[in-house]
Amino acid sequence: MARNPQTLLRDYHAARWDEEMIMDLGEPGERGVKVPVAESEITSRVGDASSLVPTQLLRRTPPALPEVSQPRVNKHYTRLSQETMGSNVGNDIGQGTCTMKYNPVSQLHVATRHPGMTELHPLQDESTLQGILEMYYKLQEMLKETSGMDAVSLQSCGGGQAIYANASVVRAYHESRGDHQRDEVITTLLSHPANAAAPATAGYKVVTLMPTESGIPDMDALKAALSERTAAVFITNPEDTGVFNGDIDKLVQAAHDVGALCVYDMANANGLLGITRAREAGFDLCHYNAHKTFSTPHGSMGPALGAQCVTKELEPFLPKPIVCFDGERYSLKYDCPHSIGKIRSFIGNASLVCMAYTWIMNHGADGLREVAEVSVINNNYLYEKLKDIPGLTVYFAEGRRRLEQIRYSWDPLFAETGVGSDHIRARMVDYGVQSFFASHHVGRHEEEPLADQIVSEAMTPEPCESFSKDDIDEYAAVMAQISKEAYETPELVKTAPHNSSIHNVPIPFMEDIVTQAGTWRLYKKAKNLD
Amino acid sequence: MVKKKIGVIINPVAGMGGRVGLKGSDGAEILQRARKLGAKPEAATRSIEALKVVAEQEGQVEVLTYPGEMGADACRAAGLSVTVIGSICSGETTAEDTRRAANDMAAAGVDLILFAGGDGTARVLLDVVGLQVPVIGIPAGVKIHSAVYALSPRRAGEAATEFLQRDSVKTREVEVMDIDEDAFRKGEVNARLYGYLSVPDTRRYLQSVKTGGIRSEQATLKGMVEALIQDMEKDCYYIIGPGTTTRAIMEGLDLDNTLLGVDVVRNFELIANDVSENQLLEIVGGGRAKIVVTAIGGQGHILGRGNHQLSPGLIRKVGKENLIVFATKEKLASLSGRPLLVDTGDQQLNAELSGYVKVMTGKRDFVVSKVGF
């Protein structure tokens, strides 16, 4: 039914296909693509393709693959996306820190359909890869411009990998100077958790600073933590609160004063593009998540693209290969004696480089700044719509303007009605709006499945530049409605969802590795199908 | 504005068992043992600190109190003029006197009772006034598990002042908890909820009830213990403070431990269990030592709550650089941004310990926390 023009609420009900597993679909012999028989001229020269594979590597039994036609595949995935309110179906303002922007279909087509991309092979000779190398090089140049840094590597295939690679560059730098005692990394509790996790994985001790009331890190705590053992400070700005730390340059200076480097997590730079740069604050390294800021889709655990940006001094340590241009030709440089080495097969995720390049080219420099401005305006507009909703509050830095996102808390609502963040997440889908992201800093326990350690009953929406005023108004209307329901009929919210494809799934069930089989083989085993 | 009436009750023997390692002061026999061990009353000093803040409101408040050490002495020392009611046998007060005082004050229609004591005292208040009269506790006892106590004597005074200044102050009900002292001395701790008292809703001033651990903390703790044991220095005494977090260290070393007492370890071997301040000073002698303490969840005290054996003298001897604070992030998060607290009874030492401390929160993992008093 159409949306009510007064309340902006929809009388929504999710499609309920109860769709089968793809392995249960199709008939024996059903095919999506018929692979053409090799031409006789080819077979006469190279023989039968299977004879090229060593016998010990050949399967004895054919793999269990689904046998389905193209229309059936199309219906299958469309139905799944309807049942799960896929990204092209519902309003996903709620996925804060993820920057769920629109990924133009045209750029997806260029990267994944255009023969210039689809017919490339990474083992081709460099001379035949000039087009894609040009995109790499030019994207590097653009990110140098947006970050202010001197050198860029597009080898990391995710934000976490880029931070890990940055931690490796930090180590290589200190070791190149004979400075072997630096074994600590400092970060803040409300920075993206990968800023603690990736350096820890790279072998560093991690020292975390707690947030202050103002939402920004305490400089005195930082000074107390800094020492000759500090290798680097890894920090996000703004942190998850959305409060921009105007003293970031002082923080960087304090770290430099003890010989430490500073690494800026700009994974989500949506509120910063064209306005402020890592370089001006004095940072030595930074990274972008192209799948957030530069609109290459979030791929559900990949593929992704993390762009590392560093100063001239740190350039020799970047991962190899380096994409170079001599004024005429583009080339891949592998002879980099100080490099941290190779971190990805071939040259990384070329299709995502193509998408990020296309997106930036479509926007131009002015367009990038407009992206940031509209994101910030959207976010503050949403705040104005949400701030008077009963039961909702914002901790840290009361009254201060935020950039692209805000971490809200439903604490008062929970205290007064027993309806918490989790219940609201489940109720939202009844109005055709995607559940929101609570927080990175979530701990789980039995009574309250999602209890945030820092901001309880958290909610982090991020209405980036892709959302219209109408989208934001609808989102706020849904929130106001659920708050009203929580005070008037709390049970209605606590028992949600009511109009979804399936009912609420308890977390212990979701975490049960036996019932939640990740592969067809495990599924058959769990269901005793063999 | 109508002049508000406040009742002041001090349990003069609260806290006496702490410094001498008795884990509580409830009951005549224990009190006698405490006195024999050289314990001195501290409730009065702590109360004066709180009452001085209230005295700044002189003229706008009517103060009712019991005679001598149960209130009148401290009020006067803080500069408050008081109306003294009831009677006591000075030097021999018991829980019965606290009971009568609370009863008389409630009957006199006080707006607030400001009382000094520990969990035992809170339980008496609970029996007598229940939710009828709002209360604020001045922390003076050994066991402070009840959320009715302010973070420090000063904060108790500030909370009372705020209450007195406002026409209407919202109140909230907070838990009164206590642990069985006998079981406690045997190393078993089971804090029991006895009921609720009503306190002014000034969250920042009052203690949250000690929070229990959550599941994921256990795994973190295991890693923390391993890391601490790995780093243990040869021939150095490790003075392990009370609590379940620090108990894990003793368990990791496979040594007997006292949950609510202080144990000493050297070269991975047990030197002594459940030691007093004097024994600690004796054991450490001129040797190197480190003190390992944890933070009380929800409250944030690292010194001065349940670990009075770690006296100012001992801390100075060991040196503040050898104080290891050992707590999970969950515990630190339960402080909601409030600093860790020290309340050693020695203001100068409290000031010296203030600033920032690197709390060990995991294997190769630390959090910088503010320390205040």
- Of A240 and B250, which is predicted with more confidence? B250
In a domain, A386, yes or no: yes
Q: What is the mean pLDDT of residues A496-507?
A: 84
Query: Does residue A445 register a pLDDT over 90?
Result: no
- Are both A212 and A341 inside the same structural domain? yes
Specify whether A398 is located in the same domain as A345: no
Structural domain total, chain B: 2
Q: Give yes or no for a contact between B68 and B45, defined as CB atoms under 8 angstroms apart.
A: no
CATH number of the structural domain spanning residue A429: 3.90.1150.10
Nearest to A303 by CA among A322, A285, A289, A323: A289
Residue A104 lies in a domain: no
What is the mean pLDDT of the segment spanning B207-225? Answer: 60
Q: Are residues B168 and B239 in the same domain?
A: no
| pLDDT tier for residue B91 given thresholds of 50, 70 and 90 | confident
Q: Report the chain B residue with the minimal C-alpha distance to residue A442.
A: B330
Cβ contact (<8 Å) for B365 and A206? yes
Asked whether residue A474 falls in the same domain as residue A421, the answer is yes
**pLDDT single digits (tens) B128-146:** 999 899 999 999 887 777 7
Chain B residues whose CB is inside 8 A of the A224 CB are 355-356, 358, 368
Interface test mutation site (partner B, options A208, A213, A251, A398, max chain B beta carbons within 10 A): A208
Distance separating alpha carbons of residues B343 and A327, to the nearest angstrom: 70
The pLDDT tens digits of the residues spanning A318-370 come to 999 999 999 999 999 999 999 999 999 999 999 999 999 999 999 999 999 99
- Whether A66 is in a domain gets the answer no
Q: Which of A463, A472, A86, A433 is nearest to A270 (CA)?
A: A463
Domain boundary among B200, B223, B246: B200
B215: pLDDT confidence band, cut at 50, 70 and 90? very low
**A252 in a structural domain:** yes
Parallel/antiparallel/unpaired status of strands B263-266 and B289-293: unpaired
- Verify cis geometry, omega within 30 degrees of 0, for the bond prior to B242: no
Closest-CA residue to A495 (of A430, A416, A408): A430
Q: Is residue A527 part of a domain?
A: no
> What integer pLDDT is reported at residue B314 of this predicted model?
95
Domain assignment of residue B328, yes or no: yes
Tokens coding B162: 């705020």
Residue B194 has pLDDT above 70, yes or no: yes
pLDDT of A444 reads 38
- Identify all chain B residues contacting A221, using CB atoms and an 8 Å cutoff: 356, 368-370
| CB spacing of B370 vs A221 below 8 angstroms | yes
My answer on whether A375 and A347 are in the same domain is no
B231 and B349 share one domain? yes
Q: Which of A3-12, A211-220, B183-192 has the highest mean pLDDT?
A: A3-12
The half-sphere exposure of A506 on its side-chain side, counting CA atoms within 13 A, is: 8
Same domain, B43 and B192: yes
- Condensed to tens digits (0 to 9), the pLDDT of residues B265-305 reads 999 999 999 999 999 999 999 899 999 999 876 668 899 87
Query: Do A339 and A423 share a structural domain?
Result: no
Which amino acid, B56? Answer: E
Does residue B192 belong to any structural domain of this protein? Answer: yes
Partner-chain contact A220 B364, CB within 8 Å: no
Residue A415, phi-psi category: left (phi > 0), alpha (psi -120 to 50), beta (remainder): alpha
Looking at the fold, whether A358 and A377 belong to one and the same domain comes out as no
CATH of the domain at B9: 3.40.50.10330
Of B155, B177, B200, the position where a domain reaches its end is: B200
> Quick check: is B206 in a domain?
no
**b/e A76-107 (16+ beta carbons within 10 angstroms → b):** bebbeebbbbeeebbbbbbbbbbbbbebeeeb
Whether residues B238 and B193 fall in one domain: no
Q: Which residue has the tokens 């001790």?
A: A205
Q: Can you tell me whether residue B30 is helix, strand or coil?
A: helix
Residue pLDDT, tens place only, B166-177: 776 777 777 777
Angstroms from A195 CA to nearest CA on chain B: 13
Q: Which residues from A are below 8 Å from B when comparing CB atoms? A: 189, 196, 200, 204-213, 218, 220-222, 224-225, 443-446, 453-454
Identify whether B209 is part of a domain: no
- Do B251 and B183 share a structural domain? no
Cα gap B61→B67, rounded to integer Å: 19
pLDDT-derived band at B195 (thresholds 50, 70, 90) equals confident
Is residue A285 within 8 A of residue A143, CB to CB? The reply is no
State how far the Cα of A311 lies from the Cα of A471, in Å rounded to an integer. Answer: 40
Q: A522 in a domain, yes or no?
A: no
Which residues, in sequence order, are bridge partners of residue B290? Answer: B238
Give residue A446's pLDDT.
33
Residues A291 and A440 in one domain: no
Q: Does one domain contain both A345 and A381?
A: no
Q: How far is B357 from chain A (nearest CA, A)?
A: 8
Q: Are residues B178 and B234 in the same domain?
A: no
Same domain, B185 and B224: no
Please give the tally of structural domains in chain A. 2
A204-245: pLDDT as tens digits: 999 999 888 788 888 999 999 999 999 999 999 998 888 999
**How many helices (H) and strands (E) in chain B?**
13, 16
What integer pLDDT is reported at residue A1 of this predicted model?
54
Q: Which residues of A touch B358 (CB under 8 A)?
A: 207, 224-225
Mean pLDDT of chain A: 90
Chain A contact set for B366 (CB, 8 A): 205-208
Instruction: Name the percent of chain A lying above pLDDT 70.
Output: 94
User: Are B88 and B97 within 8 A, CB to CB?
Assistant: yes
A508: which 2 tokens? 């212990």
Asked if B368 lies within 8 A of A445 by C-beta distance, the reply is no
pLDDT for the residue A510: 66
Residue A460 reports pLDDT greater than 60: yes
Is A441 a member of any domain? Answer: yes
Are residue B153 and residue B277 in the same domain, yes or no?
Answer: no
Site of tokens 């959305």? A242
Q: In what order do the strands lie in the sheet with A458-459?
A: A393-394, A408-409, A458-459
CA distances from A433 to A12, A499, B35 (A): 9, 12, 68
Q: Are residues A377 and A431 in the same domain?
A: yes
**Residue ranges making up the domain that contains A483:** 371-510
| Rounded Cα gap, residues A99 and B363, in angstroms | 33
In the predicted model, what is the mean pLDDT of residues B54-83? 92
Question: Which tens digit of pLDDT belongs to each residue from A390-417?
Answer: 999 998 887 888 999 999 989 888 777 8
Same domain, B247 and B157: no
Q: Do A225 and B358 touch (CB under 8 A)?
A: yes
Residue A12 has pLDDT above 70, yes or no: yes
pLDDT at A441: 56
B369 to chain A: which residues are within 8 Å by CB?
210, 221
pLDDT the model gives residue A443: 44
What pLDDT is attached to residue A449? Answer: 34
pLDDT at residue B147, rounded to an integer: 76
Cβ distance B216 to A443 less than 8 Å, yes or no, reads yes
Same domain, yes or no: B183 and B233: no
Residue A318 sits in the same domain as residue A408: no
- Do residue A294 and residue A420 come from a single domain? no
User: What's the gap in Å between the CA of B272 and the closest CA on chain A?
Assistant: 33
* Amino acid (one-letter) located at A59: R
Residue B130: which region, alpha, beta or left (left: phi > 0; alpha: psi -120 to 50)?
left
Same domain, B191 and B222: no
Residue of B nearest to A455 (CA): B336
For residue B56, pLDDT over 90 is answered with: no
- CA of A350 to nearest chain B CA: how many angstroms apart? 36
Please determine, for residue B20, whether its predicted confidence score (pLDDT) is greater than 80. Answer: no
ipTM comes to 0.81
Residue A454 to residue B216, Cβ atoms within 8 A? no
When pLDDT is cut at 50, 70 and 90, the band that residue A120 belongs to is very high
- Tell me which of B173, B357, B368, B369 to substitute to probe the interface with A (most A C-beta atoms closer than 10 Å): B368
Asked if the Cβ–Cβ distance from A206 to B366 is below 8 Å, we say: yes
Cβ contacts of B83 within 8 Å, gap of 6 or more: B62, B63, B64, B65
The CATH number of whichever domain residue A299 belongs to comes to 3.40.640.10
Asked, for residue A207, whether it belongs to a domain, the answer is: yes
For residue B130, the enclosing domain spans 4-200
Cross-chain CB nearest to B366 (options A205, A218, A453)? A205
pLDDT of A154 reads 97
pLDDT at B186: 63
Instruction: Answer yes or no: do B365 and A213 touch at CB < 8 A.
Output: no
Whether residue A213 and residue B337 make contact (CB cut-off 8 A), yes or no, is: yes
Lowest mean pLDDT among A94-103, A208-217, B212-221: B212-221
Identify whether residues A192 and A338 lie together within a single domain: yes
Nearest CA in chain B to A184: B364
Whole-number average pLDDT of chain B = 85
Does residue B205 belong to any structural domain of this protein? Answer: no
Burial class (CB in 10 A: 0-12, 13-18, 19+), A412: middle
- B41 and B109 in a single domain? The answer is yes
Q: What is the DSSP letter of B10?
A: E
Q: Which residue of chain B is at minimal alpha-carbon distance from A188?
A: B367
What are the chain B neighbours of A416 within 8 Å (beta carbons)? none
Q: At what angle do helices A421-428 and A469-488 cross, to 10 degrees?
A: 120
Q: A20: how many CB neighbours lie within 10 A of its CB?
A: 11
Angle at A53 between CA A52 and CA A58, to 5 degrees: 145
Q: What is the pLDDT of residue A95?
A: 85
